[in-house]
Amino acid sequence: MTQGEPSSLAVTSDDLPDRAIRMRRAASLMLVAMAGLFALAHTQEHIHPAWGYVLAFAEAAMVGGLADWFAVTALFRHPLGIPIPHTAIIPRNKDRIADTMAGFLRRNFLTPHVVARRLRDMNLARAAGEFLVQPRADDRDGEMGRIRSGIVQLLVDLLESLDPDRLGNQLKAGLARQADKIDVAPLLGKMLESAIADGRHLPLMDGMIRWAGLTLEDNEDMVREMIRARANALLRWTGLDEKLSSSVLDGLYRLLAEVLIDPQHPLRSKVEQGLASIAANLQADPVLRAKVERAKSDLLANPALGDWWMGVWERLRLSLIAMARNPDAALAGQLGSALRDLGETLRDDPALQRQVNRVVRRTLVGVVQRHGEQIVRLVSETVKRWDARTITDRIENAVGRDLQFIRINGTLVGGLVGVAIHGVSQLF
């Protein structure tokens, strides 16, 4: 965006807060009232000496009001459109303001020792825990409530402005690159070895045994037919094939039941030995490791995996938008319960708070040390890219109401000073 371009971020006078607009009108009406009072007092001055004081008050009030109107207006624009020197101060010094803001941010917020010092006495973990336990803070309409609403709206705008396909493809490519760097086979071997050592494979083994029994039960007719088809003609003629199939099925059921009930069954030991051998080979056998890597590469190159990821990303993005728009509803289900449990742990565990605060502090200090200059440059360049109207309206929007109070106070103080001067002149 060039300096002369209109900005979608510009705030027109119609967008100013109602209170600021009312204060501007009040200040202007007071100036007009002083002019009317001056005209009235000028015509009535000869009737009574008191009108002299009224005239002095109105005259000085007009001067004070006009002077402050000129001063306030000169900050943002040329008074009456006349290019008087040293007016329109903020638009003319936009770039210097940007550099000053960036320098202030850099010196007071984005140096590692400043960040570390400010974070040293802040218990961020406990604050996060309290927020997760009770997200509906009492100050919803206060300063923190406004900050939270602004952050939520910023998050929603950011998520909605993202190109889902482009960002999804970028994330997919990034995950694929990271997954390609990981040697999966030793990782799987370590996980399997650790699971066997801790006995975490036993529920899975029991589940597989039960699944085998249910599968056999659901396919009894097919198994019987397979046995009869492989039996010779004599067995089929004598009807022994039916007894044979029943015996085979009963034996299989009995074997599965014994393996499921007996933790020391020899078949379990054989399975565990096989799993331990697989875990060792995944870590040490180059042939098996190469096969796992080829399977990983084939999986990553499969378009179906990419389509699955894009669907996951889009659902995640939409879910985040829905959560941001309606956090109370989002925190009402299992996710909310889990987050509240996490919040209670963060709130009540001092040891965990120290660990989390230490990690957050080191992370933020590292981010500031590596990217502080880029953040400051981003602030400066962003403000510089704003056109003069944008930055003028933004600053006026922030402090406009107080500036109108300056005009009102200038009018009243000027009038009182005029009365005082007129009174002193009458004494001498």
SS3 327: helix
Q: Residue 248: which H helix or E strand, with range?
A: helix 240-261
Q: How far apart are the two ends of the chain, measured CA to CA in Å?
A: 64
- Give the ranges where 45-161 is alpha helix by DSSP (H): 50-76, 89-92, 94-108, 112-120, 124-133, 143-161
Distance, in Å, from the CA atom of 173 to the CA atom of 171, rounded to the nearest integer, reads: 5
pLDDT in tens, the chain (428 residues): 333 333 333 334 444 556 777 888 888 899 999 999 999 998 888 888 889 899 999 999 999 989 988 888 888 888 888 888 888 887 888 788 778 877 887 777 777 777 788 777 788 888 878 877 775 544 444 444 554 555 556 566 666 666 666 666 776 777 777 777 777 888 888 888 888 888 777 888 888 888 888 888 888 778 777 766 665 554 555 556 566 677 777 888 888 888 888 888 888 888 888 888 888 888 888 888 888 888 888 887 777 877 787 777 777 777 777 766 666 555 555 556 777 778 888 888 888 888 888 888 888 888 777 777 777 777 777 777 777 777 777 777 777 777 888 888 888 998 899 889 888 888 87
**Which pLDDT value is given to residue 274?**
85
What is the distance of C-alpha 326 from the center of its chain? 14
Q: Give DSSP secondary structure letters for 96-120.
A: HHHHHHHHHHHHHTSSHHHHHHHHH
Contact 29, 398 (CB under 8 A): no
Q: How far is CA 16 from CA 10, 23, 194, 240, 248, in A?
A: 11, 11, 64, 95, 86
Burial of 368 (0-12, 13-18, 19+ CB in 10 A): buried
- Residue 172 near residue 306, CB atoms below 8 Å: yes
| Side-chain-facing half-sphere of 231: CA atoms under 13 Å | 20
How far is residue 23's CA from residue 98's CA, in Å, rounded to a whole number?
28
**HSE-CB for 363 with a 13 A CA cutoff:** 7
User: CA 357 to CA 363: how far, in whole Å?
Assistant: 10
CA atoms within 13 A on the CB side of 195: 18
User: What is the C-alpha separation between 126 and 350, in angstroms, rounded?
Assistant: 8
Residue 199, classed as helix, strand or coil, is coil
Q: What is the pLDDT of residue 212?
A: 84
Residue with tokens 């602004």: 150
Nearest CA to 58 out of 28, 24, 31 is that of 31
